[in-house]
């Protein structure tokens, strides 16, 4: 009766972990993630070849690296998705602590790779962007704070989460990385709303964010230049936005043909931030719509499963992870079609990048773990808790 009412999957005593994991997993979401990764490799075959030739490397050098990073990211995702919520919380908080320390060290040992923002730690053979790994840990930490504040006699967790969010936003803005700072603030607002916070407080925080953006516009030449370029009625013919929008228009419905696109030879970031332009030019609107539907399926199915979740931590953290994942994809595609200012944000599982794909694997693995169906307990116990 309990399973009929609450939609829980039966768990038999002594059930091996793999069958139990497979039976309780959201298989549609997993299939969509695999589809995004496959599309990323397909687009990488076209988008990364010009960069490899420019750097005198084998033609498929970056595709091979993406396959390795992707395999590692998917492996991490599958392992994390098998963990219970308590373990998700623990590894999330630990990951946040490590990433936070690395971000503090960036001004001293970080590099900008000539992009004007110190966001990476270079290890020679590979570079790491700590902010990518910070996001899932930040969500887990804030969800833990907010969930604990709902307990009788619990700590002021919502206040702690607000302090953590403001500290992270300031640190990211100082790099400067306003895109990741905005994403962190958005995920915190979503979780704060799910935790039952007053709307007026959320409006106040949004107003503070607007004032912060105004200050950044006046204080940062880098930020002001991007905003001015976005607001201008004309697009500079030397910018990546110009090449990306033209490529999207050229692709029309079915694209110009596999390997026939030209934008990849003009865009330095065709394999990362603007890979959706390559997809639109060579495969047309059909490919772009497919990518959008895959992201929508992951986010919507996750949110629908979380509606039935009674564990406060799982519900709050899962919502934050799902919304952050979807909004990051939305921002990336919005920049390419000039609906948003340039942010320098990757398309999860599709863009090239070791930090991006592995961090996405961790985040989606946590999301899959939190949206797994779990036994809900006896009906009498549920009524006792409610009273």
Q: Average pLDDT for residues 183-204, to the nearest whole number?
A: 87
pLDDT in tens, 253-284: 888 888 778 888 877 777 888 889 999 999 99
Residue 3, pLDDT above cutoff 60: no
pLDDT of residue 34: 96
Of 78, 56, 66, 131, give the one whose Cα is nearest residue 372: 78
Q: Please, which residues have CB within 8 angstroms of residue 310's CB and are 6 or more apart in sequence? A: 376
Q: Which residue has the higher pLDDT, 266 or 295?
A: 295
Residue 382, pLDDT above cutoff 50: no
Range with the poorest average pLDDT among 78-92, 218-232, 329-343:
218-232
What is each CA distance from 181 to 85, 131, 151, 277, 316, in whole angstroms?
Answer: 26, 9, 30, 24, 20
pLDDT in tens, 303-328: 999 998 889 999 999 999 999 999 99
On average, the pLDDT of the chain sits at: 85
Residue 10, pLDDT above cutoff 60: no
Confidence class of residue 2 from pLDDT cuts 50, 70 and 90? very low
Return the structure tokens found at 111. Answer: 């590099």
Residue 349, pLDDT above cutoff 80: yes
pLDDT more than 90, % of the chain: 46
What is each CA distance from 365 to 96, 169, 180, 200, 264, in whole angstroms?
Answer: 16, 24, 20, 33, 31
pTM comes to 0.88
Residue 50: other Cβ atoms inside 10 A? 19
Contact between residue 8 and residue 309 where contact means Cβ atoms under 8 Å apart? no
pLDDT in tens, 355-372: 899 999 999 999 999 999
- Is the bond preceding residue 244 a cis peptide, omega within 30 degrees? no
Contact between residue 374 and residue 8 where contact means Cβ atoms under 8 Å apart? yes
pLDDT in tens, 93-146: 999 999 999 999 888 888 877 666 778 887 776 788 899 999 999 999 999 999
Return the structure tokens found at 285. Answer: 């609107």
User: Where is mean pLDDT largest: 143-157, 205-219, 357-371?
Assistant: 357-371
């Amino acid at each position: 009766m309990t399973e009929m009412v609450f939609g829980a999957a039966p768990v038999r005593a002594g059930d091996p972990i793999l069958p139990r994991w497979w039976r309780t997993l959201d298989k549609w979401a997993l299939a969509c993630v695999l589809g995004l990764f496959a599309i990323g490799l397909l687009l990488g075959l076209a988008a990364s070849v010009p960069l490899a030739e420019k750097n005198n490397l084998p033609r498929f050098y970056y595709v091979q690296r993406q396959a390795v990073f992707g395999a590692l990211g998917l492996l991490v995702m599958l392992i994390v998705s098998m963990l219970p919520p308590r373990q998700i919380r623990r590894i999330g908080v630990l990951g946040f602590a490590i990433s936070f320390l690395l971000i503090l060290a960036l001004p001293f040992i970080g590099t900008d790779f000539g992009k004007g923002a110190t966001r990476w730690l270079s290890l020679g053979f590979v570079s790491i962007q700590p902010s990518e790994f910070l996001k899932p840990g930040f969500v887990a930490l804030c969800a833990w704070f907010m969930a604990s504040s709902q307990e009788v006699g619990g700590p002021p967790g919502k206040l702690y989460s607000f302090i953590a969010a403001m500290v992270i936003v300031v640190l990211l803005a100082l790099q400067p990385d306003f895109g990741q700072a905005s994403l962190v603030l958005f995920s915190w607002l979503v979780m704060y709303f799910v935790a039952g916070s007053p709307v007026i407080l959320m409006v106040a925080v949004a107003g503070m964010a607007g004032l912060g953006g105004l200050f950044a516009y006046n204080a940062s030449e880098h930020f002001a230049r991007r905003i001015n370029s976005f607001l201008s009625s004309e697009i500079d013919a030397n910018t990546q936005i110009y090449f990306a929008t033209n490529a999207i228009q050229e692709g029309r419905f079915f694209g110009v043909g596999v390997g026939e696109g030209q934008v990849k030879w003009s865009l330095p970031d065709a394999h990362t931030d603007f890979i959706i332009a390559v997809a639109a030019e060579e495969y047309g609107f059909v490919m772009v719509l497919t990518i959008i539907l895959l992201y929508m399926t992951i986010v919507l199915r996750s949110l629908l499963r979380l509606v039935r979740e009674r564990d406060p931590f799982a519900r709050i953290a899962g919502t934050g992870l799902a919304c952050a994942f979807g909004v990051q994809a939305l921002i990336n595609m919005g920049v390419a079609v000039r609906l948003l200012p340039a942010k320098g944000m990757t398309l999860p599982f599709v863009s090239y990048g070791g930090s991006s794909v592995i961090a996405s694997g961790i985040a989606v693995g946590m999301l899959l773990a939190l949206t797994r169906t779990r036994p809900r307990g006896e009906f009498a116990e549920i009524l006792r808790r409610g009273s």
